[in-house]
Amino acid sequence: MKGQFSLTKAQEMMRKNIRRLAEEQIAPRVAEIEASEIFPPDLVDLFRKQKLMGLAFPAEYGGGGGDEVTLCILMEELARVFSDAVLWCGVSLLGGQPILIAGTEEQKQRYLPAFAAGEKNCSLGLTEPEAGSDVAGIRTTAVRDGDYYVLNGEKRFISLGNVTDYVSVFAKTNPSARHKGLSVFLVEKGTPGFSVARLDNKLGWRATPTAELLFKNCRVPAQNRVGDEGQGWEIAMRTLDVTRPGIGACGVGIGQGAFEVALSYSKERAQFGAPLASYQAIQLKLADMAIDIEAARLLVYKSAALVDEASPMVPYFASIAKTFATDAAMRVTTEAIQVLGGSGYMKDFSVERYFREAKLTQIFEGANEIQRLNIAREVLRQEAALV
């Protein structure tokens, strides 16, 4: 296991370019976007023109062929300014991951070039009212009927589920088989029986709609099944293993953004005749924030490098990186508010938004409690192998 994560010159240059784009094109509009709760179409067009949506798709399908470390740099730099930009830029990489993992060559040629170009997009339809952490508890069913599958059920908390052209829907083809009965289907927007029931009113990430989706006798062509029947569990786990380092990168970016605001404020704000930064109590907070961010970044890059190496240790380190980085984001944003005091609680300063954004990263792509169980299971497995 190498786990190398030193950045190349090309990656460092990309970081500078994405940071410039985020600061010049997104940052001046964040307050307006949050207030309207609408992510501007022109920014989506910008991501498309800059070929950021296809950055990590394979070159043979029209993508940039970027590795996981490069993708994490993109997500970190966008989250440093505004987390909503991450999902608008990368939703298809999440939703299209099942096709990358288990799709036929015909499916890859048919869908991935459009996803990579940003001409079409795709959400991931995994979570349900009774199946969040318990993926095996999915109740949506898919019954074979000739050349079609008939889907019935509902999905919750689907990011951009009301906007995307397709949704990769996980459903039970064998309800009695628990996780072994799970399969994946690509459902196109406008398919009869597929509807959006409602949009959620969230604490943060408010410019990224989160939808409840309904499937009522929804007939999906059998050719839209991704992978074999019963392969859905494996596809879901492999998808999350690949995407969790990116969520960790979001945590790093959120923490970095909040830290920079707190650091700047502590230098400018005077109390008792001296800048806040001159007081040891504030210095200790800044030090702890810096430690959390740097440690989280290294863990994220290590887990991303292991993804690029197709290491068997990916599930272990992806869970560690996601958990530590997002918990660190919560700690850092909490302390950033404290450094700003009463101002930190006000919307005039962005640290309260970073705080709201950080909270979600501890929950989605697998709640951190579940990640800890995954980590413990792997630790015990490794220990048993040594005995």
Distance, in Å, from the CA atom of 82 to the CA atom of 291, rounded to the nearest integer, reads 22
For residue 125, give the nearest of 176, 77, 164, 177 by alpha carbon: 164
Beta bridge partners of 145: 148
Q: Phi-psi region for residue 273, left (φ > 0), alpha (ψ -120 to 50) or beta?
A: left
Count of positions (residues) in the chain: 387
Tell me the chain's radius of gyration from C-alpha atoms: 21
Give the Cα separation of 9 and 32 in Å (integer). 35
Nearest to 115 by CA among 127, 104, 126, 99: 99
DSSP 279-335: SHHHHHHHHHHHHHHHHHHHHHHHHHHHHHTT-TTHHHHHHHHHHHHHHHHHHHHHH
For 16, other C-beta atoms within 10 Å of its C-beta total: 10
* Partners of 215 in the β-ladder: 153, 194
Any catalytic annotation for residue 365? yes
3-state helix, strand, coil split of the chain in percent (to 5) is 60, 15, 25
Considering the candidates 365, 369, 378, 383, report the single residue annotated as catalytic: 365
Cβ–Cβ under 8 Å, residues 229 and 246: no
Pairing of strands 148-159, 210-221: antiparallel
Residue 245 is which amino acid? P
- Residues contacting 382, CB < 8 A, separation 6+: none
Q: Residue 315 corresponds to which amino acid?
A: P
Active site residues: 365
